[in-house]
Structures are given as C-alpha cells and as structure tokens.
Structure 1
Amino acid sequence: MAEGSDRPSKSKAAVPTPAEVRRAYREELEPQDRSVLWSWLGFSVTFGAVRAITYSIRQGGTRFHNLSVGGVHFHHYMWGIGMVSAVGALAVAGCERKRRHPLTGVVYGSGLALIVDEFALLLDLKDVYWAKQGRLSVDLGVGMVALGGTALSSRAILSRLARDRGLTRRRPSTG
C-alpha cells in the first residue's frame, strides 16, 4: 500500500492464501491463544451441527435419529460431559504438549456445546427442549456468543492478515 493511501496494493489478493493464514496463526498466537481459538471453533461448529441435526430429527424424514438403548434415550449432554471430563483428566495428568494440542481445544469446546445445548435438562426443568417459548432466541443467543468468542479469539490472526494486505488504515504521522 502506498504511503498515505487508503486502498490496498494490487500486488496482494483480497483473500489470503492458506499459507498466509497458517503463518499468521503460528506467528500471532501463543499456544494458549491457539487452544482458546480451537475451543471456540469446536463449540461453534458443534453447536450449529447439533441444532441442525436435532431440528432435522424433529422434522422427520432424515437419516439422523435419536440414540436409545432399551427404550432409554441418550441425551447428547452425556457425551459432552464425557468429553469435558476427558479434557479435565488431560489437564490434570497430561503433558504440556497434549494440553496445548488443537484437538484438546476442539474436544473441550465440542463437549461444552453438547452440554449447553441441553442445559435445561440438567437443571431438571423437564424436557422444555422444544418449547416454542424462547427456543429460537436461545439458539440465536448461544450461536451469537459462539461466533463472538470465535471472532475475538481469532482477532490477532485477522488483524495480521488485514495488515499484510494493506487493508488497515495508517494514521498520519504527527511529527
């Protein structure tokens, strides 16, 4: 970008390449920040997928179905509790490399999404899972929190990519 210009240089494409994203990820995020990003990504993707799957089950005519054994329905919060417990065990007894591994963050975020999605059942509020009152607002609220957390935790990467493309405005020098 030319000095004083607000327009990006024509030498860089508007969309970063995968290699540029990887480089920004490695150079801009510390291991702890990477774990946070992967946790938010895991939460966001899992929550969205679970909502889509459960809505399709409710509509019928889909290959997805509830998991039941002997007439007992296995709610997905049970899987979430298992996943979060596994990450907790890793945090207590695992080595630093395993604790900071991206998969650990994904498992934690995904497990938490499975729990949050059925939180009303954990509070023994009966099966209000599909009550019209507030279901859409809860879905949208949690979805917005998930996307917001993902965006905030990836801010350093996005800023770096914008800087590399000359998309950030430079302040005029005062001296």
Structure 2
Amino acid sequence: MRVFQHYARLDLGRRVALRALFAFLITFGILRALTAIIHFDIFPHGPFRNLVTASGLHIHHLFWGILLLMATGFIALATRAEEWHLRVAIIFGVALGLTLDEFALWLRLADVYWSPEGIESIKAATVVTAFLAVYAFGQPFFHAVAREFFHLKRRA
C-alpha cells in the first residue's frame, strides 16, 4: 500500500507521466505478442488473425493510434480538469503503443515489421519509455540538481 500512498502525493504531471508510461508499456507488449501470434500462426483457428476489409485493405493499428493521439491532444488542450488529464493519460499511453509499435512502417512507408528494419519500432519505443520514465521518476532529482547548481552559482 505504500506505493499507492506515494503515488497519491505525486504532483499531477508525474501521475500523468506514470499512467501514460504504464499504459504504453502494456499496450506495446500486448501488440508485440498479438502480432507474433498472427505472424507465426500460433493459433490457426483462434480469434487472432490478420484483419482485412472486404475490399482487401489492411488497416494497420498505427491508424488507430494516430486517431487516438489526435483525440487525446484535443481533450488535453480543451480541459484543465485534473481528473480528465489523468484519464486521458491512459488513452494517450495506449495511443503511443499503437503508433510506435509500427514506427518503422511510419518511417519507411513500407511494412517492415518482421524485417531487420522493424527494430526501429523497438528503438523508438525504448526512447519514449526513457523520456517518460525520466520525467516520472527523475523529476525530483533533476530539480534538486538545478537548485544546487543555482545555489552554488549565487555563492561564487
């Protein structure tokens, strides 16, 4: 329960970052697992299949991620209510996962998910994870460093 007590004392920005980080990591992990199940045909008669429209169009999950990013961006700009920012952070993390899982497709405009270039998606996800984690967990440290730096500078 100490974790929840500590979480409750965090400022809004850090709680938003933590929610986005965990939603992103969970979504990214689930998507990687699902695409592997589909690609390697692990459950040939199961519910996990490559979804294609009647006209033969495959809509990548990147598309849904972009739509969710647009929606969460608008909501974040349109409201100042703390509870909405906490809710939107989870949707934003899911949207990041949907989008960055196919970052290599986005970057190369080619479906390279299972080719060597597909590693670019994992690299992008690692960078985003690092940024969110540094903000969520490292903020007090960096604030203390800045305070100490400016305090020492005033003494000199």
Do the structures match in fold with TM over 0.5?
yes
- Aligned partner letter, 2:19: W
Give unpaired runs (5+ residues) of structure 1: 1-18, 160-175
Give per-residue Cα distances to partners, 1:60-93, cap 9 Å, x unaligned: 0323112222121110011101111111121122
CA distance in 2, matches of 1:99, 1:65: 34
Superposed counterparts of 1:31-50, under 5 Å:
31-50=12-31
Moved more, 90-99 or 105-114: 90-99
TM-score by length of 1: 0.66
Q: Are positions 1:93 and 2:74 aligned together? A: no
Identity of aligned residues (%): 32
Q: Provide the alpha-carbon RMSD of the alignment.
A: 2.4
Shift of 1:119: 2.3
1:114 to 92, 98, 101: 98
Unaligned runs of 5+ in 2: 142-156
Q: Hey, what does 2:146 align to over in structure 1?
A: none
More helix by share: 2
Following the alignment from structure 2 to structure 1, what is the Cα–Cα distance between the partners of residues 11 and 50? 40
**1:37/1:113 CA distance change after superposition, 3 Å:** same
Q: How many aligned residue pairs are there?
A: 135
Instruction: Output aligned runs, 1:158-169, within 5 Å.
Output: none
Q: Which has the larger radius of gyration?
A: 1
SS in 2 for 1:129: coil
Distance 1:125 1:139, change over 3 A: closer
CA contact (8 A) 1:44 1:150 kept: no
- Higher relative contact order structure (alpha carbons within 8 Å, sequence separation ≥ 6): 1
Which residue is 1:30 aligned to?
Answer: 11
Residues 1:20 and 2:2 aligned together = yes
Q: Is the 8 A contact 1:44 1:113 kept in 2?
A: yes
In the superposition, the TM-score normalised over structure 2's length comes to 0.73
CA distance in 1, matches of 2:137, 2:107: 34
Aligned to 1:67: 51
Structure 1 residue 125, shift from structure 2 partner: 3.0
- CA distance in 2 between counterparts of 1:80 and 1:33 reads 23
Cα displacement (A) at 1:30: 0.1
For 1:109 and 1:94, locate their aligned partners in 2 and report how far apart those are by CA, in whole Å.
18
Q: For the residues of structure 1 that align with 2:74 and 2:52, how far apart are their CA atoms? A: 28
